């Protein structure tokens, strides 16, 4: 029988090339941002606190691995995920890391030090209470992410606008905030502000990616 090992090795080399593209914390953060919405290089650099040149280099590496694609819009180049399965891959990677690495929990506690101080609400309870008009769901991500897709019934109040827009929140309701998912601090910061002003608050840990992969639809 002909030795097929070289062909098999080539297959694994292709798999390894994709894993290699993911093996960088900056590139993972860029993927995490692109899960929320397509963005230009400049927008990604600003959100990730990196230089435009460094951001561009990382995006080219992700593009070579066919994880992202780019589209020219006038003077700018906008990047987006190459496929919804890339977002699924990112979520699965996070889940495996959380299950297998105790350090993830410690790092998350350091990043979200107040995450255990606020009530959490499940998706099922949220849907039930929204149907009874008992809660106000606010999306505290940047507006560009809200416009790309958001939870049904959510109101866009970006975190940096929240303090100036408190009068828009209906009195007497539970205010539920969500952001980019369980590894995002925006909702915690929103709840900290709201609770200090006397609002009854809770956090939805899920973001748009988790919501979609649970089989729920987004609004755009």
Question: Catalytic: 184?
Answer: no
User: Beta strand 135-139 with 155-156: parallel, antiparallel or unpaired?
Assistant: parallel
Of the residues 135, 157, 162, 179, only one is catalytic, namely: 179
Closest CA to 59 of 91, 95, 85, 33: 33
Please, are residues 68 and 80 in contact by the beta-carbon 8 Å criterion? yes
Cite the beta strand spans of the chain per DSSP E: 39-40, 68-73, 76-81, 135-139, 155-156, 174-178, 201-203
Please, are residues 152 and 217 in contact by the beta-carbon 8 Å criterion? yes
Structure tokens at 4: 């097929």
* Spatial separation of the C-alpha atoms in residues 60 and 192, rounded to whole Å: 38
* Spatial separation of the C-alpha atoms in residues 157 and 138, rounded to whole Å: 6
Instruction: Map tokens 């280099």 to a residue.
Output: 57
* Spatial separation of the C-alpha atoms in residues 64 and 43, rounded to whole Å: 21
Active site residues: 179
């Amino acid at each position: 029988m002909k030795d097929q090992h070289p062909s098999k090795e080539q297959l694994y080399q292709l798999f390894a090339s994709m894993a290699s593209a993911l093996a960088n914390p900056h590139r993972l953060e860029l993927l995490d941002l692109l899960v929320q919405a397509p963005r230009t290089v400049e927008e990604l650099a600003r959100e990730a606190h990196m230089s435009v040149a460094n951001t561009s280099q990382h995006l080219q590496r992700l593009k070579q691995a066919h994880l992202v694609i780019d589209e020219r819009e006038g003077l700018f180049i906008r990047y987006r995920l190459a496929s919804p399965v890339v977002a699924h891959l990112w979520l699965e990677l996070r889940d495996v890391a959380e299950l297998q690495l105790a350090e993830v929990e410690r790092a998350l506690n350091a990043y979200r030090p107040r995450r255990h101080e606020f009530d959490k609400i499940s998706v099922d309870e949220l849907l039930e209470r929204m149907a009874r008009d008992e809660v106000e769901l606010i999306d505290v991500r940047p507006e560009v992410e809200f416009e790309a897709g958001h939870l049904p019934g959510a109101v866009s109040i970006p975190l940096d606008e929240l303090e100036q827009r408190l009068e828009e929140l209906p009195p007497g309701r539970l205010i539920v905030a969500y952001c980019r998912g369980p590894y995002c601090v925006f909702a915690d910061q929103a709840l900290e502000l709201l609770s200090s002003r006397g609002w009854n608050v809770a956090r939805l840990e899920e973001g748009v990616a988790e919501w979609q992969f649970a089989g729920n639809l987004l609004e755009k």
